[in-house]
Amino acid sequence: MSASGEKLLNLTLQVWRQKTASDGHFETYQAKKISTEQSFLEMLDLVNEDLIGQGKEPIAFDHDCREGICGMCSLMINGEAHGPETGTTTCQLHMRHFKDGDEIVVEPWRARAFPVLRDLVVDRSAFDRIQQAGGYVSVNVGGAPDANAVPISKKEADLAMDAAACIGCGACVAACPNASAMLYVGAKVSQFRHLPQGQPEKAQRALNMITRADKEGFGSCRNHFECEAACPKEIPRRVMAETFRDFTAAALTRES
């Protein structure tokens, strides 16, 4: 306990270090006098400051906004994507959720489609290619109308907004035993399928994006629903069912 009443923690970290595709291993670090008010990434910042002070290579990890918006902070913490708190990104996870003396294992996402670039940083550009395969509206919808000119029911608007909350962090892939990207694909399909502008291409969009996900090496969905549990934005499993429905419609139309 500090003089101000702030609680301080001393922790042992087991951190995955990797420079090339074949030399990954865990290294042990001591994180001392960590405030319970700090975030998990701030704790890693302090560890890195100590490593730099010792002339050692700092731990590489992804981060950007640190506000739970960008989806960059992709870490497995004690075997859980983004850590033990539900609906929380790593950058929003605070050290008050750990106890003094805890040992914390920190790893990158584990998926063939997310190759490790260095330490805790993985290449998630596969998500970009899935999005480019069809996660947009390409039909000519004319000029931008007034906000209230196109009638959309509140129910449909809410469903679209729920899906659009996806930040593309990849926790769904990391948590899935098959490394499936279906929750991500479902979110990107459903954010358009509930809006009038997304209706003309909804079936083909699902077909294109699922096909691309398969090519990228993501596994098939087996309804474990670990993805839903791990998602920091709590995207519902409903989006996967909707996408499979559209995918089947497109596949049947193509075959006929």
Separation in Å, CA 122 to CA 27, 92, 103, 108, 110: 18, 20, 23, 7, 9
Give the model's pLDDT for residue 139: 78
Q: Residue 234 — left, alpha, or beta (φ > 0 → left; ψ -120 to 50 → alpha)?
A: left
49, 109, 46, 119: which is closest to 77 by C-alpha?
109
pTM for this structure?
0.92
Give the model's pLDDT for residue 256: 53
What tens-digit pLDDT sequence spans the chain (256 residues)? 555 567 999 999 999 999 987 789 999 999 999 999 999 999 999 999 999 999 999 999 999 999 999 999 999 999 999 999 999 999 999 999 999 999 999 999 999 999 999 999 999 999 999 999 998 888 776 777 776 788 899 999 999 999 999 999 999 999 999 999 999 999 999 999 999 989 999 999 999 999 999 999 999 999 999 999 999 999 999 999 999 999 999 988 775 5
Give the model's pLDDT for residue 140: 77
Separation in Å, CA 1 to CA 45, 52, 128: 21, 27, 46
Give the model's pLDDT for residue 159: 96
Residue with the two structure tokens 């497109």: 250
Going from the N-terminus, what domains does the chain have, and what CATH number goes with each?
Answer: 8-107 (3.10.20.30), 125-255 (1.10.1060.10)
Give the model's pLDDT for residue 1: 53
How far is residue 4's CA from residue 215's CA, in Å, rounded to a whole number? 55
How far is residue 243's CA from residue 188's CA, in Å, rounded to a whole number? 9
